[in-house]
């Protein structure tokens, strides 16, 4: 049985209005029901790729399929949920946590956006999954960075999109929160969701990402993490600005992450200069 592809990006080029080509001939696929890491230096095109997958930027060439349909159709069918970078959100906007999560249900509501009991139930369930129910009546701007991330993850869950794009979900969160988010992503994968996670925290990629996509203005390498997340590919992507880390039993990997590894293995990771 062939696994249906969750995300297929084929020869995609994106050129912004100012003439800057942020992504050229990018090609990769992420099979349905899996987690893929999206890694690359600042400005390498990760957010641009997300925008392209969501149909928010025009493709100069190439095509993208989400669950076998075009980005336009995927948008109409509410197939793609997005967890934004913190910097993209205006936290001063006065909105309650539960209202943010309810936004995930908008695609299924009518023009007037009147929430039904089913929608409220979905919001509660999503908040329960990220352990944020007790914060539902708080203003979003009053939460900590890690709590805000969990609320936006809840919004993506409430949306019930088959594909979830997470833009740097681990930036500014502590190690415990990161472990909780990873555990939730695994649960979502087991439910058949496809996730693409951009991250600078390379230390945990091997732990929870089945696939890796490495970008630098194009896709330098993609495929199973075991064969793609290699020192050689990372050196090409990060041009020697990474530190070397040795994980017991897993050999040497490279990271630009300054925090300790969250490792499933009992043996702690060891850093070497």
Ligand X SMILES: Nc1ncnc2c1ncn2[C@@H]1O[C@H](COP(=O)(O)OP(=O)(O)OP(=O)(O)O)[C@@H](O)[C@H]1O
**Strands annotated E in the chain:** 5-15, 21-31, 35-39, 61-66, 69-70, 80-83, 163-167, 194-198, 211-215, 219-224, 243-247, 251-255, 270-271
Nearest approach in angstroms of CB 194 to ligand X is 20
Looking at beta carbons only, is 9 or 22 nearer to ligand X? 22
Does residue 47 bind ligand X (CB under 6 A)?
A: yes
Looking at beta carbons only, is 241 or 267 nearer to ligand X? 241
Does residue 199 bind ligand X (CB under 6 A)?
A: no
Nearest approach in angstroms of CB 149 to ligand X is 15
Looking at beta carbons only, is 20 or 118 nearer to ligand X? 20
Nearest approach in angstroms of CB 18 to ligand X is 5
3 state DSSP class of 245:
strand
Query: Side by side, which strands form the sheet with 35-39?
Result: 80-83, 163-167, 194-198, 35-39, 211-215, 219-224
| Sole binder of ligand X in the list 6, 7, 12, 48 (CB under 6 A) | 48
Residues 6+ apart with CB under 8 A from 162: 6, 32, 66, 67, 79, 80, 192, 193, 194
Looking at beta carbons only, is 48 or 162 nearer to ligand X? 48
Does residue 203 bind ligand X (CB under 6 A)?
A: no
Type and span of the H or E element at 177: helix 175-190
Between 7 and 46, how does the x/- string for binding to ligand X read (CB under 6 A)? ---------x-x-x-x-----------------x-xxxxx
List residues near ligand X by CB under 6 A.
16, 18, 20, 22, 40, 42-48
């Amino acid at each position: 049985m062939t696994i249906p592809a969750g995300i297929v990006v084929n020869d995609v080029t994106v050129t912004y209005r100012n003439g800057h080509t942020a992504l050229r001939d990018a090609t990769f696929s992420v099979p349905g029901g899996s987690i893929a890491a999206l890694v690359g230096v600042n400005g390498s095109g990760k957010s641009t790729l997300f925008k392209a997958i969501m149909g928010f930027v025009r493709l100069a060439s190439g095509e993208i399929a989400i669950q076998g349909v075009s980005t336009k159709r995927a948008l109409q069918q509410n197939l793609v949920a997005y967890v934004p970078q913190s910097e993209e959100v205006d936290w001063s906007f006065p909105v309650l946590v539960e209202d943010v999560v309810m936004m995930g249900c908008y695609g299924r509501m009518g023009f007037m956006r009147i929430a039904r009991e089913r929608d409220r139930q979905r919001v509660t369930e999503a908040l329960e999954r990220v352990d944020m129910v007790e914060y539902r009546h708080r203003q979003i701007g009053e939460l900590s960075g890690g709590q805000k991330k969990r609320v936006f993850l809840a919004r993506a869950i409430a949306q019930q999109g088959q594909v979830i794009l997470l833009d740097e979900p681990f930036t500014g969160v502590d190690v415990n929160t990161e472990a909780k988010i990873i555990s939730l992503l695994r649960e979502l994968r087991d439910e058949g969701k496809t996730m693409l996670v951009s991250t600078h925290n390379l230390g945990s990629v091997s732990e929870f990402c089945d696939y890796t996509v490495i970008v630098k203005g194009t896709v330098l390498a993609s495929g199973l993490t075991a064969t793609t997340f290699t020192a050689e590919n990372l050196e090409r992507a990060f041009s020697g600005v990474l530190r070397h880390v040795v994980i017991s039993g897993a050999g040497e990997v490279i990271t630009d992450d300054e925090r300790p590894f969250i490792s499933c293995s009992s043996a702690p990771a060891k850093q070497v200069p």
